[in-house]
Amino acid sequence: MAIKHFLQFSDFTLDEFEYLFERAHLIKRKFKNYEPHHTLLDRTLVMVFEKNSTRTRLSFEAGMHQLGGAAIYLNTRDSQLGRGEPVEDAAQVMSRMCDIIMIRTFGQDIIDRFAANSRVPVINGLTNEHHPCQVLADVFTYIEHRGSIVGKTVAWIGDANNMLYSWLQAAQVFGFHVNVSTPKGYDIDPSLVTANKSRYTVFGDPSDACVGADLVTTDVWTSMGFEAENAARLQAFDGWIVDSAKMRCAHPDALFMHCLPAHRGEEVAAEVIDGPQSVVWDEAENRLHVQKALLEYLVLGRLT
């Protein structure tokens, strides 16, 4: 089987995502019933982290163990990558010693260069530009709670960051619409948008973006790597909090999602993230199940 990577959401077709969700449902059911599912017995995942993580590390490491394999954690501070080893050289070496690699780093160019020199599949655990594994879990979570996402409206409130760009790619693949509202100066970068313009609408007022939405989602106002901008961002994002008033603009049975960690009182009000429309804990858990399906697919291909 030819090597396949998952570097951004658009790397997979709708048919592939439907297969992944089918497998994720099976894997999750078996997990809940304490049934073993060791399809990656004696296989090894290497996880390379340049950015800190809770959910990404835990979901990939636990997931690989639950699939019967092993997971090895590498931090760039503790490896030769932190001492200037070329990404291309690291890819050549690491990919000869394992079956699949997950990388959580800064620029998308880093993971692209790594994958171009890898002999095994590479997964994007997060970059500045894309966060495909999180949106994979988010779409799966929506389908679990509300059925098909085709033709639905997702409201994105906040920064034009990696999550938004992955949501826009997902809209193109699945056939839904994204209402986007970002403060001035934190707008969409057209160079990072691959979705057709018919798949999203930009709103100046975040409340307008929530009108009729089936899902309202947001993220922290200051992503990792932009901490120096925090004070300026707190001022610029004033009014972009997802609160009860904005949720009332959405469809009555709209869901709320957040990729976490969350700052209550900043990008989301406590009554929303802790309220009845919030599915953030299911969303977080589903990282485990969809990524197990992803690991299985990239290493073994389709299973019958």
Task: Detail the residues annotated as belonging to a binding site for carbamoyl phosphate.
Answer: 53-56, 80, 104, 131-134, 259-260, 287
- In whole angstroms, what is the distance from residue 27 CA to residue 64 CA? 12
CA distances from 216 to 158, 272, 279 (A): 11, 10, 11
Binding-site residues: 53-56, 80, 104, 131-134, 162, 219, 223-224, 259-260, 287
- The catalytic site residues sit at 104, 131, 134, 219, 259, 287
Neighbours of 191 (CB within 10 A): 7
Which phi and psi (to 5°) does residue 164 adopt? -60, -45
Q: Is 41 left (phi over 0), alpha (psi -120 to 50) or beta?
A: beta
Q: What does the block give as tokens for 33?
A: 């019933």
- In whole angstroms, what is the distance from residue 249 CA to residue 3 CA? 45
Binding-site residues for L-ornithine: 162, 219, 223-224
Peptide bond into 121 cis (omega under 30): no
Q: What does the block give as tokens for 184?
A: 């001035």
Of 106, 94, 95, whose CA–CA distance to 131 is shortest?
Answer: 106
Q: For strand 153-157 and strand 100-104, is the pairing parallel, antiparallel, or unpaired?
A: unpaired
Q: How many residues does the chain have?
A: 304
Query: Angle of helix 162-174 relative to helix 14-32, nearest 10 degrees?
Result: 110
- In whole angstroms, what is the distance from residue 219 CA to residue 180 CA? 13
Say if residues 267 and 237 touch (Cβ distance below 8 Å).
Answer: yes
- In whole angstroms, what is the distance from residue 264 CA to residue 135 CA? 21
Q: Is 152 exposed, middle or buried (0-12, 13-18, 19+ CB in 10 A)?
A: buried
